[in-house]
């Protein structure tokens, strides 16, 4: 749980604070801040959601309340 909270804070809170510095870096002529905002953070949050669902299923199985 601490890992998921930490990732949420990093992706949703700390990354926007570094936007001006990240935007100065160019990747293929596109500001890195745009790439991270458009694709990187969304992909990270989707991966986090799937990881959390898998972890919750494991907890449910251990508690004998899993769905069939």
In a domain, 10, yes or no: yes
Integer-rounded Cα radius of gyration of the chain: 16
Give Cα separations from 34 to 8, 42, 44, 46 (angstroms): 19, 12, 15, 18
Tell me which residue range forms the domain holding 50: 2-62
Q: pLDDT class for 58, splitting at 50, 70, 90? A: very high
The answer, yes or no, to whether residue 54 has pLDDT greater than 90, is yes
Q: Tell me how far apart the alpha carbons of residues 32 and 21 are, in angstroms, rounded to a whole number.
A: 9
What would the pLDDT profile of 9-38 be if each residue is shown by its tens digit? 877 777 778 777 888 889 899 888 888 778
In a domain, 21, yes or no: yes
Q: pLDDT class for 8, splitting at 50, 70, 90? A: confident
Number of domains within the chain: 1
Q: Tell me how far apart the alpha carbons of residues 11 and 17 are, in angstroms, rounded to a whole number.
A: 10
The answer, yes or no, to whether residue 42 has pLDDT greater than 80, is yes
In a domain, 56, yes or no: yes
Contact 15, 41 (CB under 8 A): yes
Q: What is the pTM of this model?
A: 0.53
In a domain, 68, yes or no: no
Backbone angles phi, psi at 27, to 5 degrees: -120, 110
């Amino acid at each position: 749980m601490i890992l998921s909270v930490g990732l949420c804070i990093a992706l949703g809170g700390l990354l926007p604070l570094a936007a001006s510095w990240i935007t100065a870096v160019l990747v293929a002529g596109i500001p890195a801040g745009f790439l991270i905002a458009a694709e990187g953070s969304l992909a990270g949050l989707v991966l986090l959601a799937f990881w959390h669902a898998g972890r919750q299923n494991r907890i449910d199985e251990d508690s004998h309340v899993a769905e069939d």
